[in-house]
Every structure is written in structure tokens, then in C-alpha cells.
């Protein structure tokens, strides 16, 4: 059994964790979430794996049009709070706030 000074004070599933166990658990969660991050970053890719706007020799124009199912500005989901999730412009795709189409303060009061 670990000494009291080694215990973190955090319990998961009824088991009190040591600082080392807590750090390992957090690293596992970070690794798990990074998989979702990779999926989101790939949502705008086309079948040949190119992001919208990338050079693409498979596209007749020479430039990737991106994912044909989710184009820039299209709504493809909603949060629990009913905020639309939209495909932001290419230059804002690494900004989490750009994916949520929040109403302005003026629109809420209308």
C-alpha cells in the first residue's frame, strides 16, 4: 500500500490514486483526446487526402476542393446547447471557437 504522502486525493471508480497513477491516467486521457483532435483536423480532406486549398493532382483544377460532404460554412452538427457546428474557413480551422456558430448578443435579444 502506498504511503499517505504518495496519495493524490483523487479517486476514480472508487479507487484512490497515487500521484503517479493520476499522472498516468491523465496521459491516457490526453492520448485519447488527441485522436479526436486528429479526426477533426482531417474533416476537410478529400478522398485523396488533401485539405481544401491544397495542391491536388487528382483534382481537375489542380487544387483540392476538400471534403465534398462538408464544405466551408456548412452546418454538420449541433452541441448539447444547440449551437451549430460549422466548417470554418480554411485559415480558422485550428481555432476551436471558429467551429461554433454562436449567435451575437443582438440576435439573442431579438
Task: Give the model confidence (pLDDT) of 23-68 as tens digits.
Answer: 999 999 999 999 998 998 899 999 999 999 999 999 999 999 999 9
Q: Per the domain annotation, does 16 fall within a domain?
A: yes
Report the number of distinct structural domains present in the chain. Answer: 1
**Domain contains 6:** yes
* Burial of 64 per CB tally in 10 Å (0-12, 13-18, 19+): buried
DSSP-derived secondary structure letter, 75: E
In the prediction, which pLDDT does 108 show? 47
In a domain, 94, yes or no: no
**Residue 89 counted as domain residue:** no
> What local confidence, expressed as pLDDT, does residue 102 receive?
85
| Structural domain span for residue 29 | 1-41
Residue 59 lies in a domain: no
Report the predicted TM-score, pTM, of the whole model to 2 decimal places: 0.66
More confident residue, 29 or 12: 29
Measure the CA–CA gap between 40 and 98, rounded to whole angstroms: 13
- Each residue's pLDDT tens digit, 76-100: 999 999 999 999 999 999 899 999 9
Contact 17, 11 (CB under 8 A): yes
As given in the structure block, the three cell numbers for residue 99 are 467551429
Please say if the pLDDT value at position 110 is more than 70: no
Q: What confidence score (pLDDT) does residue 11 get?
A: 86
Residue 24 lies in a domain: yes
Amino acid at each position: 500500500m502506498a504511503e499517505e504522502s504518495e496519495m493524490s486525493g483523487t479517486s476514480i471508480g472508487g479507487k484512490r490514486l497515487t500521484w503517479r497513477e493520476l499522472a498516468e491516467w491523465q496521459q491516457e486521457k490526453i492520448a485519447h483526446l488527441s485522436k479526436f483532435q486528429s479526426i477533426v483536423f482531417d474533416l476537410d480532406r478529400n478522398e485523396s487526402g488533401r485539405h481544401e486549398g491544397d495542391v491536388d493532382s487528382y483534382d481537375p483544377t489542380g487544387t483540392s476542393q476538400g471534403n465534398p460532404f462538408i464544405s466551408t460554412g456548412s452546418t454538420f452538427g449541433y452541441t448539447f446547447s444547440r449551437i451549430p457546428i460549422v466548417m470554418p474557413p480554411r485559415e480558422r480551422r485550428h481555432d476551436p471557437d471558429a467551429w461554433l456558430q454562436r449567435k451575437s448578443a443582438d440576435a439573442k435579444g431579438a
